[in-house]
Structure 1
Amino acid sequence: MNWQDAMENALYGPRGFFTTGAGPAAHFRTSVHASPLFVSAVLRLITHLDEALDHPHPLDVVDVGAGRGELLTALASAAPAALGDRLRLTAVERAARPPRLPDTIRWRPELPTGVTGLLIATEWLDNIPLDVVDGDRYVTVDPAGIEEPGAPVTPDDAAWLARWWPGGGRAEVGLPRDRAWARAVRAVSRGLALAVDYGHLRDARPFGGTLTGYRAGRQVPPVPDGSCDITAHVAIDAVAEAGGWPYTLVSQREALRALGVSGARPPITLASTDPAGYVRALAAASAAAELTEPAGLGAHWWLLHLIGLDSLPLLPNVGRWRDD
């Protein structure tokens, strides 16, 4: 079968990687799992978005590809009462609702509509099934991961490749991801749609593609049998254009720094005046450094689309809001 169908079955089928088992956190580390500082940064973003929207009731926070609800659970716990009482938290996830998820978090398999607030998708786009091509033909794969040449590429996919991944050879067709993100952005009536993911730009597409697997914290061959995560980096510029204007595209490092997350070490003088405080500050700096490391999580892209707003005061100088 083609890779798109194989990924769909392996990730989201009855015995799929994301629909069964302990969940993604047991196999790989995302920014949500890496540190509470990421949650704090998202909460600060929500607070400023709430102000820009003039404090609506309810204020939506929709987490697309929510895993086991870790981000929303943390936000519900961390939000101050005045904000938390107005939050309407919705997880969009194809796995079953976790048994101990707080009752305040809604759980659904499809996108809601009429969102007023924040829609966030953290490492969701990289798991949307897509096809792999080699030259002008699709690549087929069996459950053991054995590949063979398949049918000729359709006109729609050929047009996408010509625009976004020129040069021929092996490539990943990002059209399903473009369409999925466009649907997610349309779900927001007023507010912000934010995708956080690892990806690449047209002028630096990786030779041979990026399709791979992860299991128990290790990179493994992408065998589509449900035993591992199957993922590919996102053609983030294509996704950005599909989501519409205005948008901005920046690194996680730049975005988190704008939201007050810094990996700077505390002054050594603090160790003598407040040893316990120094240890806490050092731990926070270490966690922030992991989130903003240019060769790691800090290299993730933040793609932000404003919907029904002229600006977001907290991030006026992050990237450039493209609006043509």
Structure 2
Amino acid sequence: MHHLHDVTCGPTRPTSYAALVPNSPSTRPLRQAWHEALYGADGFYRQPGGPAAHFSTSAQGLPGVDELLAECIIAIAEEHRLDHVVEIGCGRGELLALIAQRSKRLQLTGVDVVDRPAGLPASVEWVRSPGGEGLPDELTDLRSTLVLAHEWLDVVPCEIAVTTCDGLRVLEVAPDGGSRPGRELSDREREWCEQHWPDAQAAEIGTTRDDAYCELRSRIADGLLICVDYGHTIEDRPTDSTFTGYRAGAICEPRFDGSTDLTAHVSMDSLGVPELLQQKDIAARYLVIPDRPDHELARMDPTKYLLMLRRRSAYATFTEPAGLGAFYWSLERVTSSDATS
């Protein structure tokens, strides 16, 4: 995984970030460059192939794993007696299509930065989003609704602070495509770092993610908010920045030209959620561990045997402690009395 270079007391050593506008006369805040690279007119998430063309997640691109995620969401909706599932940053609606196949009762709505994808089941409604932390105006007063933000917060752009001789500074993107320390932290940014990420050499400042979470929560009048992401808590903060790029299925240097997904792990505990679990714990709660198929079944019913093997393999991937199983799930029940608190 890419890590930001340390900033020493000598000459600044720029990272290898590619500039979106190579001849720009001035630097830009990294958060602004990040947002434009993902959600601008030619941004990564507006490309025809969508994110599934570049990488796989539990929600898309991992056959069998996506089915387990769909089953978990349906089970949680049933447990809380919710009638509507809204997915924020849903790509091209891959997960919602799987849910639609498995549940005719649930109303489904996808939210993303592109127009409604072709081939999406007619039962799935679609709302276009402005991107990043922005939410559609019409997404409000949600009732009896499970709102799912799967790998959304990690692509909500944030400022990145680095340690210099003069204390913490926020990174900016230079005209030559490198990064360098810029302004001092605001009072709020400094307070956030002191509380949630003290003594860091580099830290993704979580204020924008915290604000995005609160704004999404405020759109729910009655329901459940679930955020699923790779992240960390105060007990296991990384020592360096996790900001990195993904392109064509591989980790790469961040580029700001729209060709690359740009992401950073999420400080999950700063969201202030009442329940924070890992995906392996969610699986233990809502799924049944698949049995190992008997070898005799391969002769008697080879199709069933292969299906059972496929599900068992998918479950192992979904719950791998060093992989997807370590993903965090935040769960917060919202009622009309506390939706705007």
TM-score by length of 1: 0.84
- In structure 2, what is the Cα distance between the partners aligned to 1:248 and 1:263? 26
- In structure 2, what is the Cα distance between the partners aligned to 1:151 and 1:39? 46
1:63 aligns with 2:87: yes
- In structure 2, what is the Cα distance between the partners aligned to 1:152 and 1:262? 51
- In structure 1, what is the Cα distance between the partners aligned to 2:328 and 2:205? 19
Partner of 1:288: 315
- In structure 2, what is the Cα distance between the partners aligned to 1:284 and 1:167? 44
Partner of 1:194: 226
List per-residue Cα deviations over 1:114-151 (Å, max 9, x = no partner). 22221001111100011111122111114764111101
- In structure 2, what is the Cα distance between the partners aligned to 1:301 and 1:51? 20
Residues 104 and 274 (structure 1), Cα distance of their counterparts in 2 relative to 1, 3 Å cut: closer
Residues 280 and 102 (structure 1), Cα distance of their counterparts in 2 relative to 1, 3 Å cut: closer
Find the residue that maps to 1:196 and give its secondary structure. Answer: strand
Conservation of the 8 A alpha-carbon contact between 1:127 and 1:231: yes
Partner of 1:127: 155
1:11 aligns with 2:35: no
Equivalent residue letter for 1:77: Q
Conservation of the 8 A alpha-carbon contact between 2:38 and 2:258: yes
Q: Aligned-pair distance for 1:188?
A: 1.8
2:332 maps to which of 305, 311, 314 = 305
- In structure 2, what is the Cα distance between the partners aligned to 1:279 and 1:100? 28
Aligned length: 295
Residue range with higher mean Cα deviation, 247-256 or 93-102: 93-102
Residue range with higher mean Cα deviation, 111-120 or 152-161: 111-120
Find the residue that maps to 1:223 and give its secondary structure. Answer: coil
Q: How does 1:90-105 map to 2 (within 5 A)?
A: 90-105=109-124
Q: How does 1:188-227 map to 2 (within 5 A)?
A: 188-227=220-259
Q: CA RMSD in A?
A: 2.1
Q: How does 1:221-240 map to 2 (within 5 A)?
A: 221-239=253-271
Give the unaligned 5+ runs of structure 2: 1-27, 130-134, 337-341
- In structure 1, what is the Cα distance between the partners aligned to 2:57 and 2:331? 19
- In structure 1, what is the Cα distance between the partners aligned to 2:176 and 2:259? 11
Give the unaligned 5+ runs of structure 1: 310-324
Equivalent residue letter for 1:89: L
List per-residue Cα deviations over 1:232-286 (Å, max 9, x = no partner). 00001112x0xx5xx3111111101221153653344544654443222111101
Find the residue that maps to 1:31 and give its secondary structure. Answer: coil
1:155 aligns with 2:187: yes
Residue range with higher mean Cα deviation, 129-138 or 267-276: 267-276
Find the residue that maps to 2:44 and give its secondary structure. Answer: coil
1:107 maps to which of 108, 120, 126 = 126
1:72 maps to which of 96, 108, 130 = 96
- In structure 2, what is the Cα distance between the partners aligned to 1:144 and 1:96? 34
1:254 aligns with 2:281: yes
Find the residue that maps to 2:255 and give its secondary structure. Answer: coil
Identity %: 37
- In structure 2, what is the Cα distance between the partners aligned to 1:70 and 1:169? 38
Conservation of the 8 A alpha-carbon contact between 2:84 and 2:107: yes
Q: Aligned-pair distance for 1:96?
A: 2.6
Residues 15 and 143 (structure 1), Cα distance of their counterparts in 2 relative to 1, 3 Å cut: farther
Find the residue that maps to 1:214 and give its secondary structure. Answer: strand
Residues 132 and 118 (structure 1), Cα distance of their counterparts in 2 relative to 1, 3 Å cut: same
Partner of 1:30: 57
Find the residue that maps to 2:269 and give its secondary structure. Answer: helix
List per-residue Cα deviations over 1:171-200 (Å, max 9, x = no partner). 111110011011112222222111111001
Equivalent residue letter for 1:290: T
List per-residue Cα deviations over 1:17-43 (Å, max 9, x = no partner). 001231000111100122345435534
Residues 125 and 188 (structure 1), Cα distance of their counterparts in 2 relative to 1, 3 Å cut: same
- In structure 1, what is the Cα distance between the partners aligned to 2:276 and 2:79? 22
1:39 aligns with 2:75: no
Q: Aligned-pair distance for 1:298?
A: 1.1
Conservation of the 8 A alpha-carbon contact between 1:37 and 1:261: no
Residues 139 and 44 (structure 1), Cα distance of their counterparts in 2 relative to 1, 3 Å cut: closer
- In structure 2, what is the Cα distance between the partners aligned to 1:51 and 1:263? 21
Equivalent residue letter for 2:187: P
Q: Which has the higher helix share?
A: 1
